[in-house]
Amino acid sequence: MPVFTSKRERRLWLALGGTLLAIYATMGAAPALVATLGLDFLANWEANLVFALLALLVIIPVFFIDKRLSFLEIAIGLGILAVYLLAWLRLGSWEERSHLFEYSLVAALLHEALLERRDNGRAVPAPALLALALSLILGGLDESVQSLLPNRHFELIDLAFNALAASMIIGARCAVRWAQRWLEARWRR
C-alpha cells in the first residue's frame, strides 16, 4: 500500500515538511534579521503589505492547485483573509506576526493533508482535532528547540500564539466546510 493516497496529499505533506524546515532553520537567525531590517522598516505599513502579499504567494499555490473553487469559497476565503490581515496589522511585534503566519500555515497544511487522506479512503479520525493536536505538538517542539539556542528562549506567550493561530485557521476552515454543506442542502430543496 502506498504511503500517500494521491499526488496532492504528497505535495501537502512535502509543503508541511518544507514549512517546518524553514521555521526551525531560521530560529537562530530571526532576531538578527529583525535587527538588520530595523524596527522602523518593519513597522511601516508598506512593508507589512509586501510581507502579507508574499505570504499569499506561498499559500495560494499549495492549497488551490488541483481544486475548483466556487464563488462562495472565494468570498469566504476573502473574508478570512481580511480578518487575518487585520489581525496581522494589530499585532504589536514581528515575533507575534510570525507565529500567526507560521502556525496558521502549519495547521492548514496538516488539516488539508488529513482531509485529502480521509477523502481518498484512509481512516483519519476527526481530522480537525487531529490537525489541531499535531499543530500544538509542533508548536511546543518549536519553543522547546528555541530553549536550546543561545539567543532564544522558551516563552509560554509564543506557545499561546501558536495555539491561537492553529485554532483560528482550523476553526475558519471548519466553518467554511459547514457553510458549504448547509448551503448545498438548502439549494437542493
Q: Which residues, including other chains, have CB under 8 Å from residue 140's CB and lie 6 or more apart?
A: 159, 162
CA torsion angle 134 137 138 144 (round to 10): 180
Domain boundaries of the chain, sorted by first residue: 7-188
Instruction: Give mean pLDDT, residues 45-59.
Output: 63
Maximum Cα interatomic distance, the chain, rounded to a whole number of Å: 62
Residue 41 has pLDDT above 60, yes or no: no
pTM (2 decimals)? 0.78
Residue 65 has pLDDT above 80, yes or no: no
Instruction: Give mean pLDDT, residues 168-177.
Output: 85
Q: How does residue 122 score in pLDDT terms, banded at 50, 70 and 90? A: very high
Q: What are phi and psi of 14, to 5 degrees?
A: -65, -40
Instruction: Give mean pLDDT, residues 173-180.
Output: 81
Q: How does residue 14 score in pLDDT terms, banded at 50, 70 and 90? A: very high
Residue 189 has pLDDT above 80, yes or no: no
Q: How does residue 110 score in pLDDT terms, banded at 50, 70 and 90? A: very high
Q: How does residue 146 score in pLDDT terms, banded at 50, 70 and 90? A: confident
pLDDT more than 70, % of the chain: 72
Regarding predicted confidence, which is higher, 158 or 67?
Answer: 158
Q: How does residue 155 score in pLDDT terms, banded at 50, 70 and 90? A: confident
